[in-house]
Amino acid sequence: MSTIIVMIAYAGLISSELILPMFLEKVKGASAFDTGLTLMPGAIVMCIMNPITGKLFDKYGARYLAITGLVILTL
């Protein structure tokens, strides 16, 4: 069951990463530069959080982080 939930979560994440830039350019009429600037804060947050998440993973393990992440994802 947990594998199916994670698969659905990642499908949503990956589809949003693929569809959002196309939506911004085609529907909203944004340039590629503006689209990049719009998506840059998310990339910066990921760069900052990756080392922090790694330390939390080492300290608490995968189960605690997976449960926390899925709870945040559902909110």
H helices then E strands: how many in the chain? 3, 0
Percent of the chain with pLDDT over 90: 48
Closest CA to 18 of 49, 37, 39, 34: 39
Position 49 pLDDT exceeds 90: yes
Taking the C-alpha atoms of residue 3 and residue 23, their distance in angstroms, rounded to an integer, is 29
**Cut 0.75: pTM above it:** no
Position 36 pLDDT exceeds 90: yes
**Residues contacting residue 6 through CB under 8 Å, at least 6 positions apart:** 66, 70
22 — pLDDT class (breaks 50, 70, 90): very high
Q: What value does the mean pLDDT take over residues 19-41?
A: 93
Tokens representing 24 are 């911004």
14 — pLDDT class (breaks 50, 70, 90): confident
